[in-house]
Structure 1
Amino acid sequence: MALDADEEILQDFLVEAGEILEKLSEQLVDLEQNPDDSDLLNAIFRGFHTVKGGAGFLQLDALVNCCHSAENVFDILRNHKRKVDSELMDVVLEALDHVNAMFEQVRHHEEPTPAPEELIAALDALAQPAGEPAPANAAVASEEQNGSDEAGSGDDGGDITDDEFERLLDALEEEKSSAPDSSGDANESSSGDGGSGDDISDDEFEALLDQLHGKGQFSGPPESGKAAPDSQDTSAAKVAGDEASDSKGGDDLISDDEFEKLLDDLHGKGGSPTAETAKSTPPPAAKQPAAKSVDAKTDKSPQPAGKPEKAPAENGKAGVTPAMPARDANAPVAETSVRVDTKRLDDIMNMVGELVLVRNRLQRLGAQSEDEHMHKAVSNLDVVTTDLQSAVMATRMQPIKKVFGRFPRVVRDLARSLKKEINLEMHGEETDLDKNLVEALSDPLVHLVRNSVDHGIEAPDVREKAGKPRQGRVTLSAEQEGDHILLSIEDDGAGMDPDVLRRKAVEKGIYEQDAADRLTNTECYNLIFAAGFSTKEQISDVSGRGVGMDVVKTKISQLNGQLSVESELGKGSRIVIKVPLTLAIMPTLMIMLGDQSFALPLVNVVEIFHLDLSKKNIVDGRECIVVRDKVFPLFHIKRWLVKGAAGQPEPENAHVVIVAMGTRRVGFVVDQLIGQEEVVIKPLGRALQGTPGMAGATITGDGRIALIIDVPSLLQNYGK
């Protein structure tokens, strides 16, 4: 590896290759479902080829070799010489894993570890047409493939390299010195225009291209009555082609529009003009006779009306000359994006947070003032601050696709190991949310998806007996709802049996039998998030230890999110996650407990009402209230959070805030409601870090410090 390579070039490679490798994992799984998709095959081929090219420039030989072997497999596949099957995909996906591992090593400026020789040999065996024996020596086969790749690099796209051009000149000198007499006239005719000296003429250059690569795509069929030229008689064939071109078309060249139409007929619309032009060069003549290639192409691609004789004039130039106008047409334009360090974005977000606090303070002061100009200024500041806050938050937003992109591979590998047939559907992949949330949601979603595949979807035979299709379905979706994101994982599997969950809860000592019998179905479903709870009879490497779902609940709670579970026995299950768009600035409900202010995250607040506390009830030794025929436990959080409040007499009337944690709802008794306010979360100082029930602190609009309540932690520590 070129460890002294320009850091900017290395970073460009890491960005480009990283995006390609993220797509490849999803594309490969999609290819297994649609093995005849030629566009997908070409896209995967180009992906490996692009990564190989960038790695070759940086002298990352281990990465180049693995990508080259994988690229050869897809070259065979897209030429329909082999079929896509699960065994082939297992090998290719293993190769992609090694490519990703090497890529991470390069990211950390380490020398990449080469892929195992057995894997390269397996790829080389798959790079042979179906039915042909694998090469006995993988190293020899790799060298031959490297040689053919260099000779036929026009197929892969890109311009001719300096080394290839030097070899062309050397070949010309050898041809001049050792050409047989039968081709002497051709040499004289080709060198007559160029004159003597070191300059090479256009005709000589075209003859060299024909000798290396065979006839061009548009050279036309061989003349009637004459045998097709083989790969060792290119000089005579060139003369014949030139004579035919001169006698029919003269110097009238094909127009740009006609040439573009020919490329569209051959390769379809779109793509880089340079890449499409380079692809028109056929494989080396040693592997495929030029005449055969020409016949196959000319039969499929109709010539422009009125000028069928002009295609031979473009022979050879199809691989080189037309690339010049393409570069002129795609002249460099001003860059529209820049790369910014995420730390700088975090610093800007922190400054915007401070600005929000100042805005809140000014709004409170402005409300106390009767100056009309002050009101207008504060109002304008509010608008500008809100717009700035939205713009900065947008710079931190990333599509949830960055998380979703890994799941096709996860589901595919897990389904193969469990011998299940599963189709993964994804919706709302372009939904944006804060980059910190994107990273934080990755592990919980992996647990939930694996749980759906392992616990939810039944085996194919079981599904058939139940009247279901053999192939199960897992649906992963995301959508924005106000200032929150809703993520759902749904399956059409067996669903959950509440009675089984009740029995397991009693066996594990989570509930007594009487309490378990009183649980609603929804409360039973939420038991899956209890620590150590699992319905699996046997522990496997996938599930059974009752750890994964507990981790999910803890992580979502840390993100100020909520979890809810829906299920129907025999129909399937659905888990919904609700998380805020960002963690930096939080809308809250400001409350007063005594003379101290606290902030309740608005995401937890369901409703607020004034209550006559004399109408409360006692159930199982706990205070409860009945609202619209629903019973809610009642907690006086002032007794927990304010010193000396435990012995004070209770008021007859109070405000009650109903808060939610997943499907559970409780009532908090508070002294006073201040109103809604956006706050910036500040971490607690060292002396207060880890305080149960506290998520952080903030500065209120009146300049006081308010603690932000962590509702799940508060109830867990005080509500027993």
Structure 2
Amino acid sequence: MGFEVDEDILQDFLVEASEILEQLSEQLVTLERQPDDKDLLNAIFRGFHTVKGGAGFLSLTALVETCHKAENVFDILRTGQRRVTSELMDVILRALDTVNSMFAEIQNRQEPTPADPALLEELSFYCQPGQEESAAPGSEPVAATPADINTIESLNEQEYQQMLGELNTEQYSEQVGIESSNSDDITDDEFEALLDQLHGAGKHGGVPEAESPAPAAPSAASSQTGDELIDDGEFEALLDQLHGAGKGPTVTPAPGGAVPDGSKPVISSAPPAASRPAAPSKPAAPPADTTVRVDTKTLDSIMNMVGELVLVRNRLLSLQAGHENEEITKAVTNLDAVTGDLQGAVMKTRMQPIKKVFGRFPRVVRDIARNMKKEIELEMVGEDTDLDKNLVEALADPLVHLVRNSCDHGIESPEEREAAGKPRKGVIRLTASQEGDHILLGIEDDGAGMDPEKLKSIAIKRGILDADGAARMSDNEAYNLIFAPGFSTKVEITDVSGRGVGMDVVKTGISSVNGSILIDSEKGKGTRLQIKVPLTLAILPTLMVVVGEQTFALPLTNVNEIFHLDLTRTSMVDGQLTVVVRNRAIPLFYLQDWLLRNGRRERKAHGHVVLVMIGNQQVGFVVDGLIGQEEVVIKPLDHLLHGTPGMAGATITSDGGIALILDIAGLIKAYARRYA
């Protein structure tokens, strides 16, 4: 176990490996669609190799073994000795799941659980060349390919030493025609044998003894040391044969022009003076590292301090409004601008691309399609859209539920699609874009769509809705029935869906981050869901309202419209007070009945109506006064107030007071039926 090493080294490995494993999940699914992409094969090979190297340094043997076998499979694939198949990808993806499980254990400082021996055996099988692609017995060895060179360059020290050991064997010596020796030097015979291997027997520039002409004027060196030595000119000629004229290393003679007896010529790698290029200029210094890793807790702390600064800014703006001092006005205005810039800069440090969530969906879609024998293509748009890190984490599970739901309920089987005149392959489209201070996420499919009447009948059968309510329900309201707890259109429960909890979890998760979800569908054409979430959770844009003598904050993302209360536009429908807006009756509630200590009070004939949107539903709240829009920092409620229905937290207002932040969805769920 390698956890006793320096914590910084372990953290570096965890960060690097986490990024690589995220990429591998998407790269493997892409490879199945593009099996001949050499760059992709090499990238996946390097990914497993890098994780293996880091794990080896930390002595994480189980992780090293699995990554090594996966790496070997891709070494076989990229050299063309096997082809990518769906069965092979099933094994590799299972191996990646195993690696991810081990990685999670390492993050928790636990010893990684060894891989299933059956999985390792399957990987070992695919590490061997495929029979249909393997070379015939006795065939000549092929020259090294670029992939082979990459393999050699990526060897670690241990593998390199092992390779050298294998080369220094009697078998290899016999192949090249030399005798093994314990000495580091090689004899003339060994040197000749090596030249024969490089150029062919008798073709390496040496002259056979029988045809060797007598030298006309032997040099001093040759006369002193015997016929076995060659003079400078002959040595230069040999180098020209090996490297090309003028391209080989030169011989630097000893002082006096002779080579001392028993010594070897001194070889210099510098070219001759005539052809020697000018000395190169000093290479430029490598660019300085412009990134630094910061713990997310530090970023959260900085963001909290910026939030406090925003509250002070709001307070100063409120105080400055009652004074006419020009200098104070300038100072407060500058503070307002600087605070806004600082807030934006700190928010950027917390931003992450939505790709961190989208990156897992190709694997999800691939597995479901293969399991259910469907043909599904996934399209992703706007993967570089940034949003708050906490939102990325909070949206991961809801989006996975929605994508799985589109695969299972939305896209039909290839046979059903053909019968309906559609292409066999269905399409699921994920989109992300920023609009102002909100992020819009879309999940769209071209599947069967939803039948509102069928949804109503299921809701009646399961006791979620009565017949009268179903008769008055619009199609859009019927689509929202899928978010009801326990609602499911599946007859049989599978490992994908059917328990009636997925979509309820989706709505709860999105509401918890002050988001909203809209749904639209057309039978036989497909379904589209749109999720709207704030850009960040740290600072919340709100509408400040007055109820009685108290101030409350409504999240601006839920506010749809504001108008003055006119009792002539209200009426009672089935015992519920409603207001007619553009020929549509909308439920109307007096917030004083829910929020003030005295409960129901005399309802005023004047006030303001704030229309809020919950999913596809609109509700009107009657308030006594409007203060305006204000950015607030959410402060958690004291533990004694935890669980208070409809309360998301508290904040300090610009006038120094305290306001409760309302959770619209929770408020309606807790009070609507009670006070209807």
TM-score range, shorter-chain basis?
A: 0.7 to 0.9
SS of residue paired to 1:631? strand
TM-fit CA distance, 1:245: 4.1
Aligned to 1:689: 642
Per the alignment, residue 382 of structure 2 pairs with 428
2:241 aligns with 246
AA partner of residue 43 (structure 1): A
Report the Cα distance in structure 1 between the residues aligned to 2:352 and 2:626, rounded to whole angstroms.
Answer: 36
Match of 1:666 among 602, 611, 619: 619
Letter in 2 for 1:356: V
The 8 Å contact of residues 614 and 652 in structure 1, kept in 2 or not, is answered as no
Contact 2:565 2:622 (8 Å CA) reproduced: no
- How far 1:594 moved relative to its partner? 1.4
Displacement of 1:223 in angstroms is 8.2
Residue 316 of structure 1: aligned partner: none
Q: Normalising to structure 1: TM-score of the pair?
A: 0.77
Contact (CA 8 Å) 2:240, 2:247: kept in 1 or not? no
Matched, 1:616 2:570: yes
Q: Distance in 2 between matches of 1:207 and 1:427?
A: 63
Is 1:708 the counterpart of 2:661? The answer is yes
For 1:63, give the aligned amino acid.
L
Q: Give the drift of 1:154.
A: 6.0
What is residue 362 of structure 1 aligned with on the other side? 316
- In structure 1, give the amino acid aligned to 2:493: I
Q: Deviations over 1:330-384 (max 9, x none)?
A: 9654221111111111111111111111111111000011111111111011011
Structure 1 residues 21 and 207, CA gap change in structure 2 (3 angstroms): farther
Q: Partner residue of 1:265?
A: none
Query: 2:18, 2:153 → 1: CA distance?
Result: 21
Tell me if the contact between 1:613 and 1:654 (Cα under 8 Å) persists in the aligned partners.
no
CA spacing shift, 1:242–1:639, aligned 2, 3 Å: farther
The answer to whether the Cα contact below 8 Å between 1:607 and 1:657 also exists between their aligned partners in 2 is yes
Please report how far the alpha carbon of residue 246 of structure 1 lies from its aligned counterpart in structure 2 after TM superposition: 3.3
Alignment of 1:434-445 (within 5 A): 434-445=388-399
Verify: 1:80 aligned to 2:80, yes or no. yes
CA RMSD of aligned residues (A): 3.6
Q: Distance between the aligned counterparts of 1:372 and 1:609, measured in 2?
A: 36
Relative to structure 1, is the Cα distance of residues 657 and 155 closer, same or farther in structure 2, using a 3 angstrom cutoff? Answer: same
Residues 171, 505 of structure 1: CA spacing in aligned structure 2 closer, same or farther, 3 A cutoff? Answer: closer
Q: CA deviation at 1:159?
A: 7.3
Kept in 1: contact 2:488–2:499 (CA 8 A): yes
Q: How does 1:250-329 map to 2 (within 5 A)?
A: 250-252=245-247
Q: For residues 322 and 351 of structure 2, what CA distance do their matches in structure 1 show?
A: 37
**What number of residue pairs does the alignment pair up?**
601
Whole-angstrom distance in 2 between the partners of 1:417 and 1:602: 43
Residue aligning to 1:161: 157
CA deviation digits over 1:424-469, x for unaligned, max 9?
1111111111111111111111111111011011111111111111
Measure, in 1, the Cα distance between the counterparts of 2:163 and 2:39: 34
1:469 pairs with one of 409, 423, 441: 423
Structure 2 residue identity aligned to 1:44: I
User: How far has the Cα of 1:611 moved from its partner?
Assistant: 2.4
Per residue, is there more helix in 1 or in 2? 1
Cα 1:586/1:166, change in 2 over 3 Å: closer
Q: Distance in 2 between matches of 1:545 and 1:168?
A: 60
Which residue identity does 1:444 align to in structure 2? Answer: P
Is 1:63 paired with 2:59?
A: no
Per-residue deviation, 1:622: 1.2
Partners in 1 of 2:283 and 2:13 — Cα distance?
A: 25
Q: How far is the alpha carbon of 1:111 from its aligned partner? A: 2.1
1:166-204 alpha-carbon deviations (Å, 9 max, x no partner): 9869988x99xx9999869x99998699xxxxxxxxxx9
Separation (CA, whole Å) in 1 of partners of 2:638 and 2:156:
63
Task: State whether structure 2 residue 487 is matched by structure 1 residue 537.
Answer: no
Q: For residue 583 of structure 1, report the CA deviation from its aligned partner.
A: 0.9
| Cα separation, partners in 2 of 1:430 and 1:244, compared to 1, 3 Å | same
C-alpha spacing 1:663/1:329, structure 2 compared with 1 (3 Å) = farther
Distance 1:189 1:109 in 2: 47
Q: Which amino acid aligns with 2:390?
A: N
- Aligned to 2:635, the other structure's residue is in SS state coil
User: Structure 2 CA distance, aligned partners of 1:651 and 1:402?
Assistant: 51
Q: Name the CA shift for 1:162/1:104 in 2 (closer, same or farther; >3 Å).
A: closer
Whole-Å Cα distance in 2 between the matches of residues 670 and 38 of structure 1?
A: 65
CA distance in 2, matches of 1:404, 1:352: 30
Q: In the alignment, what sits opposite 1:43?
A: 43
Mapping for residues 645-660 of structure 1, pairs under 5 Å: 646-648=600-602, 650-660=603-613
Residue 108 (structure 1) shift: 2.2
Aligned equivalents of 1:443, 1:367: Cα separation in 2: 46
2:305 corresponds to: 351
The separation in 2 between residues aligned to 1:2 and 1:461, in whole angstroms, is 53
**Equivalent residue in structure 2 for 1:590, among 544, 548, 554:** 544
Equivalent in the alignment of 2:267? none
Contact persistence 2:66–2:95 (CA under 8 A): yes
Matched, 1:643 2:597: yes
Aligned to 2:127: 127
The Cα of 1:538 is off from its aligned counterpart by 1.4
Shift of 1:253: 5.5
The residue type paired with residue 648 of structure 2 is A
Flag structure 1 segments of 5+ consecutive residues without an equivalent. Answer: 135-147, 194-203, 227-238, 255-324
Counterpart for residue 448 of structure 1: 402
Change (3 A) 1:626 1:171: closer
Is 1:2–2:5 an aligned residue pair? no
Q: 1:155 Cα shift?
A: 2.2
Matches within 5 A, 1:496-575: 496-575=450-529
State the distance in 2 between where 1:107 and 1:19 align: 14
The 3 A distance-change label for structure 1 pair 539 and 154 is: closer
Aligned partner of 1:627 in structure 2 is: 581
What secondary structure is seen at the aligned counterpart in 2 of 1:542?
coil
Matches within 5 A, 1:214-229: none
Distance 1:159 1:88 in 2: 25
Q: 1:677 is matched with which residue?
A: 630
2:207 alignment partner in structure 1: none
Cα distance in 1, alignment partners of residues 86 and 431 from structure 2: 27
Instruction: State the shift of 1:91 in Å.
Output: 0.6
Which runs of structure 2 are paired with 1:136-147 in the superposition (5 Å)?
Answer: none
Tell me what 2:209 maps to: none
Asked if 2 retains the 8 angstrom alpha-carbon contact of 1:616 and 1:625, the reply is yes
- Taking the aligned partners of 2:64 and 2:192, their CA distance within structure 1 comes to 32
Do the aligned partners of residues 411 and 163 (structure 1) sit closer, same or farther apart at CA in structure 2, a change above 3 Å counting? closer
Query: Can you list the C-alpha shifts for 1:19-38, whole angstroms capped at 9, x where unaligned?
Result: 11110111111111111111
- Aligned partners of 1:639 and 1:646 also within 8 Å: yes
3-state secondary structure, aligned to 1:368: coil
CA distance in 2, matches of 1:575, 1:240: 79
Aligned to 1:89: 89
Amino acid paired to 2:509: K
Q: In the alignment, which of 600, 624, 637 is matched to residue 554 of structure 2?
A: 600
Q: TM-score, normalised by structure 2?
A: 0.82
Percent of aligned pairs sharing the same letter: 59
Q: Which amino acid aligns with 2:360?
A: R
Please name the residue that 2:259 is paired with: none
- Secondary structure of the residue aligned to 1:719 is helix
For residues 84 and 121 of structure 1, what CA distance do their matches in structure 2 show?
18
Q: 1:541 to 1:164 in 2, by over 3 A?
A: closer
Does structure 2 conserve the Cα–Cα contact (< 8 Å) formed by 1:484 and 1:579? yes
Q: CA deviation at 1:581?
A: 0.9
- Given residue 88 of structure 2, which amino acid in structure 1 is its aligned partner? L
Of structures 1 and 2, the larger Rg is shown by: 2
Measure, in 1, the Cα distance between the counterparts of 2:11 and 2:296. Answer: 15
* TM superposition shift of 1:105: 2.0
Determine helix, strand or coil for the equivalent of 1:349: helix
